[in-house]
């Protein structure tokens, strides 16, 4: 089982909100980890969005709109990237990442379609 | 402004080695680590390893141990990633990215270098 699991795709309408999940493997407690989020548009390198550990421990990337925010769902053992007020430019692949067992580990990515 | 500029496209035969460079500008090179991440066509991101640009200390993903070497030349603010014993599965775009030590804030990325491994 992968360390981080993300749904492969998600669709949402312009103006709506999208909640992208990043589920940690059983036995890896989401509460103790910083969850990092990256956005990658087609043909471009990834861009740093934000990191989230708790409501008092979080950081937004430089220039990243406040429409992007992080949270956790402890009951689901998952990190969440919430994008509100979806815009067409938000259509991209989104990756979560944690530091686990002396390595940076990426989730498989979620392709977000805005239509 | 911060920039990471990578070397150009490479085509290699199976069994060969490739060395990709990443030239940094716009910041103090030795104040940040350099990480390397690769991405096969249509696939996700795969972390390869990190290097402390000041000390030269490195840490590699288990998958690449023994095949990857990360180095730097601080006189020209350039990091290098060399991957040996190439196979077709190593065909990918390779990215360098910088981050503060012990943080996953990969805030600037190189443009990527396509490495194609083909006989």
Size of interface A-B (CB pairs under 8 A): 56
pLDDT in the model for residue B102: 84
Q: Which residues contact A6 (CB under 8 A, 6 or more apart)?
A: A20, A21, A22, A23, A94, A95, A96, A107, A108, A109, A110
Buried b or exposed e, range A20-37, using 16+ CB within 10 angstroms: bbbbbeeebebeebbbbb
**DSSP per residue, chain B:** --EEEE---EEE-TT--EEEEEEEESS-GGGSEEEEEEE-TT---EEEEEEETTT--EEE-GGGTTTEEEEEETTTTEEEEEE-S--GGG-EEEEEEEE-TT-----EE---EEEEE--
CA B32 to CA B22: how far, in whole Å? 13
pLDDT at B79: 98
Can you list the residues of chain B whose pLDDT is less than 50? none
A72 in contact with B at a CB cutoff of 8 Å?
Answer: no
Task: Give the pLDDT score at B87.
Answer: 98
With an 8 Å Cβ cutoff, the interface of chain B facing chain A consists of 35, 37, 44-47, 50, 59, 61-62, 95, 97, 104-107, 109-112
Average pLDDT of the residues of chain A: 97
User: A51 and B95 in contact by Cβ < 8 A?
Assistant: no
**If you measure CA to CA, which chain B residue comes closest to A105?**
B47
Residue A37, CA distances (Å) to A43, A87, B75 in order = 18, 18, 33
Cβ under 8 Å to B: A residues 22-61:
34, 36, 38, 40, 45-48, 51, 59, 61
Phi and psi torsions of A27, nearest 5°: 100, -10
**A61-75 pLDDT per residue, tens:** 999 999 999 999 999
| CB-based contact B107:A62 (threshold 8 Å) | yes
Q: How far is B30 from chain A (nearest CA, A)?
A: 21
pLDDT in tens, B7-28: 999 999 999 999 999 999 999 9
Separation between Cα atoms, residue A34 and residue A58, nearest integer Å = 8
Banded model confidence at residue A18, pLDDT cuts 50, 70, 90: very high
Closest CA to A15 of A67, A59, A64: A67
């Amino acid at each position: 089982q992968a360390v981080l699991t993300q749904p492969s795709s998600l669709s949402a309408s312009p103006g709506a909100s999208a909640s992208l999940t990043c589920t940690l493997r059983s036995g890896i407690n989401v509460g103790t980890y910083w969850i990092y989020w990256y956005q990658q548009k087609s043909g471009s390198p990834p861009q740093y969005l934000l990191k989230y550990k708790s409501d008092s421990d979080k950081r937004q990337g430089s220039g990243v709109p406040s429409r992007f925010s992080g949270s956790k769902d402890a009951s689901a053992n998952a990190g969440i990237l919430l994008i509100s007020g979806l815009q067409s430019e938000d259509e991209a692949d989104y990756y979560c990442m944690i530091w686990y067992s002396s390595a940076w580990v990426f989730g498989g990515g979620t392709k977000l379609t805005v239509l | 402004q911060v920039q990471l500029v990578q070397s150009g496209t490479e085509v290699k035969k199976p069994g060969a080695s490739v060395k990709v460079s990443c030239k940094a500008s716009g910041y103090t090179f030795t104040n940040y680590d350099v990480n390397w991440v690769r991405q096969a066509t249509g696939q996700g991101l795969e972390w390869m390893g990190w290097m402390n640009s000041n000390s030269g200390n490195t840490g590699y993903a288990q998958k690449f141990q023994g095949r990857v070497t990360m180095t730097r030349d601080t006189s020209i603010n350039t990091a290098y990633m060399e991957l040996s014993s190439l196979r077709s599965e190593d065909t990918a775009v390779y990215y360098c990215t910088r981050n503060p030590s012990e943080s996953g804030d990969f805030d600037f990325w190189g443009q990527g270098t396509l490495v194609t491994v083909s006989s």
